[in-house]
């Protein structure tokens, strides 16, 4: 197979920054074009500005750079999305539709679409949530991602587009900050523990959510995308799991390294969002189809997070 030419949307986002670097390690820097609506001081070339709602610009970039694969990460997350539902829907869904259409027309090799635990809702079984369950998401972010999953499935069935997708849990990494999600507390808590020795959590102490260390999220993404086509049986989002914990459990883990650390709780509107998601995920299909297995649990993640953040903060 010839060298892929990859375009990443949302390359300056929490996952985008780390995934772009990982893809460049695998395929070479020049083979991975980073795009985003803003440029950061840390942005590494090749980079092009892209507003995901600008279909013409997207088409030009795909044609000019002879793109063969797209990792479509640009999106507005669950909490931020609630401030402007219509804008969130447009960005999260119309961007995907433009990409799927281009992938069909240009006969691209592959497309990656990140889905999320936010597709689950109050009618979904909460513990060890199976792959195929009732989805009645409560946020516009969850609605856009669950509808996006259906479109991915449709483009695969109807046109044979090789689109692959994961339902990411909350992602925690030292390299970048999330922006406007409900699971953001689990990143902020490490920063605040090191900087101030205390953290005020916007979720209540016993809110259990599925989470994953960034290294595992990147491994899952690149493994899924490199797996042989025949082994991919799910074209909407694969359930994906690594660990589940509550704010009080992560605080206890941090205290093992920073004994003076303290946490207080002041739940806000994000509590209701978190309460509509599930606690733990059955990811046996990912394990069976492409040998998924996470490397990090709460204690190894905490050790690694604190080690890296101590050097960077
Ligand atoms: N981390 C995301 C959020 O909290 C879930 O996909 O919105």
Q: What's the gap in Å between 201 CA and the centre of ligand 1?
A: 16
pTM: 0.97
CA distances from 96 to 7, 133, 224, 299 (A): 13, 23, 19, 36
pLDDT given at position 166? 98
pLDDT given at position 172? 98
Q: How far apart are CA 128 and CA 230, in angstroms?
A: 27
Task: Specify the ligand 1 atom closest to the Cα of 78.
Answer: 7
Which residues of the chain have a pLDDT value below 50?
none
Exposed/middle/buried for residue 118 (C-beta within 10 Å: 0-12, 13-18, 19+): buried
pLDDT tens, 241-264?
Answer: 999 999 999 999 999 999 999 999
Ligand 1 pocket test target in 14, 15, 74, 77 with most atoms within 8 Å of CB: 77
Task: Specify the ligand 1 atom closest to the Cα of 183.
Answer: 4
CB hemisphere CA count around 267 (13 angstroms): 12
Go through the domains of the chain in sequence order and give each one's CATH number. Answer: 6-170+214-239 (3.40.50.720), 172-210+242-279+295-312 (3.90.25.10)
Active-site entry in 27, 71, 141, 154: 141
pLDDT given at position 1? 55
CA distances from 20 to 30, 35, 41, 47, 257 (A): 11, 10, 15, 11, 31
């Amino acid at each position: 197979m010839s060298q892929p030419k990859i375009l990443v949307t949302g390359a300056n986002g929490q996952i985008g920054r780390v995934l772009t670097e990982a893809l460049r390690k695998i395929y070479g820097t020049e083979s991975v074009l980073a795009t985003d609506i803003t440029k950061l001081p840390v942005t590494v070339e090749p980079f092009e500005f892209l507003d995901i709602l600008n279909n013409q610009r997207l088409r030009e970039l795909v044609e000019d750079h002879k793109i063969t694969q797209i990792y479509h990460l640009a999106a507005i997350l669950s909490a931020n999305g609630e401030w402007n539902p219509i804008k969130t829907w447009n960005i999260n869904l119309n961007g995907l539709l433009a990409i799927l259409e281009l992938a069909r027309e240009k006969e691209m090799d592959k497309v990656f679409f990140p889905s999320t635990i936010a597709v689950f809702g109050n009618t979904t079984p909460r513990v060890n949530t199976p792959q195929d369950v009732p989805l009645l998401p409560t946020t516009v972010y969850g609605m856009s991602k669950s509808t996006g999953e259906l479109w991915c499935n449709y483009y695969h069935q109807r046109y044979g587009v090789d689109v692959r997708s994961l339902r990411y849990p909350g992602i925690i990494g030292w390299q970048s900050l999330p922006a406007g999600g409900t699971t953001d507390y689990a990143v902020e808590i490490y920063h605040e523990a090191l900087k101030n020795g205390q953290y005020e959590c916007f979720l209540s102490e016993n809110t259990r959510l599925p989470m994953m260390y960034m290294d595992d999220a990147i491994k899952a993404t690149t493994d899924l995308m490199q797996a042989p086509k025949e082994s991919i049986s799910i074209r909407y989002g694969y359930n994906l799991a690594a660990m589940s914990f509550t704010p009080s459990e992560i605080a206890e883990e941090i205290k093992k390294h920073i004994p003076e650390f303290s946490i207080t709780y002041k739940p806000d509107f994000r509590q209701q969002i978190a309460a509509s998601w599930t606690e733990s995920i059955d990811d046996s299909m990912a394990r069976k189809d492409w040998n998924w297995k996470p490397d990090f649990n709460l204690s190894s993640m905490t050790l690694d997070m604190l080690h890296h953040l101590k050097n960077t903060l």
